[in-house]
Chain A
Amino acid sequence: MGLAARFLEEAGFSTLVLTPNPEWHRAVGIPRSAAIEYPYGRPVGQVVDREGQRAVLLAALSVLVKAQKPGEVWHLPFTWPEEPRETDWQPPEMSPLIKIYLDEIKQARKREARKL
């Protein structure tokens, strides 16, 4: 999504990415980000929570006004009401990519565990 934002910004649009994973900015260089600690697939909020969705969007839109320089990441102060394991954001079946990289994923976890 960061590359799409860069493309659109280059084409003359002011862009804002509302992202649950702001760390990608360091890899891609995203013009403006509003970071939100919400599960993947629901960055605006919970199903039929009109007021909650409005609050998130108003905060995100304010970042469009506040960001003054390329690459700013504003962290939004919202908290998802469920613990991560209760959010059920993952696909019902393991994605084809994860299946083929499963060994690499396990190794990455072991390497991190060794560093700790």
Chain B
Amino acid sequence: MEKREKAIDGYRFLPPGLAAWVRTFIPEGAFKGSIPWTPLSKSLSQTSFALVTSAGISLRSDRPFDMEREKREPLWGDRSFRAIPRGMTGNDIDVNHLHINTTYIKQDINVMLPLARMAEFEAEGIIGRLAPTSYSFYGYQWKNTDFLTEAIEPMSRGMKEEGVEAVLLTPA
């Protein structure tokens, strides 16, 4: 079901060849199959949030996501994840991703992982709380779902421990 004030063209920023190729992976009709659903149980102003991005953001003190192996093995993508505490800025992070220009995220982490904006919303009472920890994994996972158990599952345990109820995800 699509709700439109403006119809988004998800291919607008892709070069024509890449757009044509991506379209070969996407069916014409609506998604058929079940979709999991957890209703939002409280108002935004009472809800605890965490952020998750697939942009390959690590702390400078962390091991960076592994780009060298991907260069050697183009069908392999790093399946690990990193915890990003609230309060981190562009000065605290490194970004590694071979499929986007990472310059902008390094200049302002909020274009991808909006920690400062969500902290403002918490202070203003728009959301209940931004959890102490948000997360990054590496979104290039070519025909491989092992990242769900190796990255997303441990993240989800961390979120439960911190009382998270809702998650905003930003793909790279």
**CB within 8 Å of A: which residues of B?**
1-13, 16-18, 20-31, 33-41, 43-44, 47, 52, 54-55, 70-71, 74-75, 97-102, 104-105, 107-108, 110-112, 114, 117-118, 120-121, 126-127, 137, 139-140, 142, 145, 147-148, 152-153, 156, 159-160, 164-172
Of the A-B pairs whose beta carbons lie under 8 Å apart in the complex, a sample of 22, sorted by A's number, is A1-B139, A3-B145, A3-B152, A7-B156, A8-B167, A9-B35, A10-B36, A13-B159, A14-B39, A15-B166, A23-B26, A40-B99, A42-B105, A42-B112, A47-B107, A53-B111, A65-B44, A71-B1, A73-B3, A91-B100, A91-B102, A97-B74
Q: Which residue of A lies closest to B6 (CB)?
A: A77
Contact residues in A for B21 (Cβ distance below 8 Å): 101, 104-105, 108-109
Give Cα distance in the complex from A87 to B13, angstroms.
8
Per DSSP, are chain B's interface residues mostly helix, strand or loop, or mixed? loop
Is the CB of A84 closer than 8 A to any CB of chain B?
Answer: yes
Count residues of chain A with CB under 8 A from any CB of chain B: 85
Contact residues in B for A77 (Cβ distance below 8 Å): 5-6
Report if A17-B169 is in contact (Cβ < 8 Å); known contacts: A75-B2, A75-B5, A97-B75. Answer: yes
**CB within 8 Å of B: which residues of A?**
1, 3-31, 35-37, 39-48, 50, 53-54, 57-58, 60-61, 64-66, 69-77, 79, 84, 87-93, 95-101, 104-106, 108-109, 111-112
